[in-house]
Structure 1
Amino acid sequence: MRRAAVIFIFVTVVLDMLAFGLIIPVLPHLVQAMVGGDIAVATQWTGLFGALFGLMQFVFSPIQGALSDRFGRRPVILASNLGLGLDFIVMALAQTLPVLFIGRLVSGITAASFTTANAYIADVTPREKRAAAFGLLGAAFGIGFVIGPALGGFLGGISPRLPFWVAGALALANFVYGWLILPESLPPERRTPRFDLKGANPLGALRMLRRYPHALGLVVVIFLTQFAQFSLNSTFVLFADYRFQWGPQEVGYTLALVGLCSGIVQAGLVGRLVRRFGERRLMLSGLAFGIAGFLLFGLGATPLVFLAGIPLLALAGLGGPPAQAILTQQVDPHEQGRLQGAISGLAGLATIFGPFLFTQVFATFIGPQANLHLPGAAFVLSAALLAAGLLLGWRVTARFARIPATDAAPPPVAEPGPPG
């Protein structure tokens, strides 16, 4: 039953990521067409769209996590998939930037099912197998990115709106699939007794982490890693156009290669390597590979050098599953949804500022007033963020290397009351 449940979630995440991957090669170009073809203006709008998406993730991911702790994982996942499918259809029909803007707002609200998917994995997987299970979930992301951007690039060559229609159909098919097959993972006796809106807001979800001080530093490491990834998400399409004159098809095929390498690493290596080297070493190694990959992206002067960074960036995926596994061991079972909501909320916070920051860095270093012409400056900044994460991760996980983990989470630290 546990294996079947993990497979169900795996397929759900594949379909979700496939839907998102489809629109990656075409969304910036659709925005560019709506602003008259100006690439600098399109870059700024793309960054604003990404920030809006992240703001919605920041606000609604903790709410989805708390709802899943109270009512179960299944209904939350189904509602997210249904809303996402309908929203893709709205974006396919959009003729103006405001309508597309609203579409991105709604997609940010409904796309938080990844929060519940992670909590689902924590529900059905024993502690010693969680890193491998989260690796399988990472492989689902990779598979979605293998097929999604390549197919999106191909469909975008036919019509820039066709990928949105296909993405909507996939999300709705995912809803039907889950309705018919997906079992509930959280039994009633393990659910929270009530839905606490105060605790479900982003700040409330983060305050929950104060009761688990040993986990808080690791959450910051995950935040830095997620923040760094937005240089690729928000600037790659326009960077590739500017630097190498790549169109939607070349971008789609390149992102498919990224997804293929990521899928191989997550599905084929994480489970084996975590048993051999341990969660802490694997997490730190992933951060080091990410630094090297982003530096090649940022400083490579030719397409060949840029492509050489893809395997290194894929190996950076070795760090995520062990970090997630360590975190789930530090939090009580009935708060796994809130934990994943807090992590996703931070990812949403990264999405608010990441696209804006990286697109502005990209625009600044290619602009006429730039003292240093460096189109890959955003990727160099990502390498610096991962370097900070590596140093912090080394320090905060030192205790995990000395203390054997157990299936039970450590008792939470009492949260201080109000002054007086």
Structure 2
Amino acid sequence: MSPAPRTATVVFIFITVVLDVLALGVVIPVLPKLIEAFMGGNTARAAEINGLFSTAWALMQFVFSPLLGALSDRFGRRPVILISCLGLGLDYLLMALAPTLWWLFVGRVISGITAASFSTAGAYIADVTPQDKRAGAFGMIGAAWGLGFVVGPAVGGLLGGIDPRLPFWVAGALALANFGYGFFVLPESLPRERRSPRFSWQRANPLGALTLLRSHRELFGLAGVNALYWFAHYALPSTFVLYTGHRYGWNAQTVGLTLAAVGICNVIVQAGLVRRVVPAIGERNALLLGLAAGVAGFTVYGLAPTGFWFWAGLPVFAAMGFFGPALQALMTRHVSPQEQGQLQGANSSMSALVGLLAPGTFSLVFAASIDPAVGWHLPGAAMLLAAAVTLVALVLGARVTRRETA
């Protein structure tokens, strides 16, 4: 593929991911609060239910990410992305109308299924980008996530102050707009001659997809580092809103603006720095730099006595953005074009498998840390646990990538 079409297709998928993440970001500041409202204002109980919601979402990702990845290897990336965008838009509308907590739960389950298309977006990038440019391209996708979180949570926080259900309506409209955009302008990235010759349920099921990671020694080690990274990362979606509300008294607007600041920092790293820093220091060093920043950032979050000190940790934690592009660039080198979708699906399944345990773990740790009946008051315990897990990932990553470099 020539440079011009390759640049154009990266822009297309960038915009597609931005719109999807905008829809996701809009509901982040209000979903835990809506659960809390259904629970009669019981924050500790809402934290447990929010963890259950996150676990269900991760279970759907675990089951459906390899399925969508295998389908995209066989039938192309474009139809998988479009169908998922359409389903996501309709699901947000369902959540906007949810009359009970159970209906909200059903909507969250469907969201986990349709959001599994993000792994297909990763395969799309691998299709159209040469190996030596992939870290920068994956950085741009990470920047798309950050850009979505610049606007999405801020808008969600402001809209949530008007009506907690209004962000769901806006998210649905954004996701449906994304479907319309992709239908008319998103080209196919995987030519028929490069597709998998047949669809195999053996490759499409979660366990079958994970065997791909075991087939290459380097992939298996990197997958372990990635699993630890994702385990720690779940501390934020599982506890952030309730943690900052409990410790700093933040409302939906403050949470939304803070998440927007997180997005700005992320865009600076992923769009502005990854393309320059990774070629200069190498993928291995970029991966380790990202994990070291995660250890420092989580530690600041967990120990910050005031909201000001929490905000001071945002640029530190943002450097964790070097990890993902470096990891993806290393992993995609070890599979063929016909396996890129399976690889991305396996990665998503791995993170989702971890997500079956992590959200509940962090939610229970946070609930116990603020529960008077337990007797110990350490609101930042979940963040400190995430820092410890990331430190283990850093040590393992140094060992695995030393072998990788050799």
Bin the TM-score by the shorter chain: over 0.9
1:20 and 2:61 aligned: no
State the partner residue of 2:43: 39
1:255 and 2:259 aligned: yes
CA distance in structure 1 between the partners assigned to 2:210 and 2:355 by the alignment: 17
1:232-252 alpha-carbon deviations (Å, 9 max, x no partner): 111010001100111000000
Superposition pairs for residues 111-260 of structure 1, below 5 Å?
A: 111-260=115-264
State the partner residue of 2:86: 82
Q: Quote the sequence identity (%).
A: 59
The one of 331, 346, 369 equivalent to 1:365 is 369
The one of 61, 64, 68 equivalent to 2:72 is 68
CA distance in structure 2 between the partners assigned to 1:181 and 1:351 by the alignment: 34
CA distance in structure 2 between the partners assigned to 1:290 and 1:238 by the alignment: 21
Read off the aligned partner of 1:368 and give its amino acid letter.
P
Q: Shift in Å at residue 321 of structure 1?
A: 0.2
The alignment's TM-score, normalised by the length of structure 2, stands at 0.98
Unaligned runs of 5+ residues in structure 2 are none
Instruction: Tell me if structure 1 keeps the 8 A contact 2:222–2:397.
Output: yes
Q: Shift in Å at residue 351 of structure 1?
A: 2.2
Q: Shift in Å at residue 399 of structure 1?
A: 2.6
Instruction: Tell me if structure 1 keeps the 8 A contact 2:298–2:386.
Output: yes
Q: Shift in Å at residue 222 of structure 1?
A: 1.1
1:256-305 alpha-carbon deviations (Å, 9 max, x no partner): 00111011100000010011100000100110011000000001111111
CA distance in structure 1 between the partners assigned to 2:222 and 2:123 by the alignment: 17
Q: Shift in Å at residue 400 of structure 1?
A: 2.9
Superposed CA RMSD: 0.8
CA distance in structure 2 between the partners assigned to 1:10 and 1:122 by the alignment: 13
State the partner residue of 1:386: 390
State the partner residue of 2:335: 331
CA distance in structure 1 between the partners assigned to 2:386 and 2:320 by the alignment: 12
CA distance in structure 2 between the partners assigned to 1:209 and 1:323 by the alignment: 13
CA distance in structure 2 between the partners assigned to 1:209 and 1:346 by the alignment: 10
1:317 and 2:329 aligned: no
State the partner residue of 1:51: 55
Read off the aligned partner of 1:364 and give its amino acid letter.
A
Tell me the secondary structure at the aligned position of residue 192 of structure 1.
coil
State the partner residue of 1:406: none
Superposition pairs for residues 90-129 of structure 1, below 5 Å?
A: 90-129=94-133
1:311-359 alpha-carbon deviations (Å, 9 max, x no partner): 1111111111011000000112210000000000111112222211110
The alignment's TM-score, normalised by the length of structure 1, stands at 0.95
1:5-42 alpha-carbon deviations (Å, 9 max, x no partner): 00000001101111000000000111111111111111
CA distance in structure 2 between the partners assigned to 1:226 and 1:17 by the alignment: 18
Q: Shift in Å at residue 371 of structure 1?
A: 4.4
CA distance in structure 1 between the partners assigned to 2:156 and 2:127 by the alignment: 34
CA distance in structure 2 between the partners assigned to 1:210 and 1:154 by the alignment: 46
Instruction: Tell me if structure 1 keeps the 8 A contact 2:73–2:340.
Output: yes
Tell me the secondary structure at the aligned position of residue 313 of structure 2.
helix
Q: Shift in Å at residue 368 of structure 1?
A: 1.3
1:110-166 alpha-carbon deviations (Å, 9 max, x no partner): 101110000000000000000000000000000001100000000001100000000
Unaligned runs of 5+ residues in structure 1 are 403-420
State the partner residue of 1:417: none
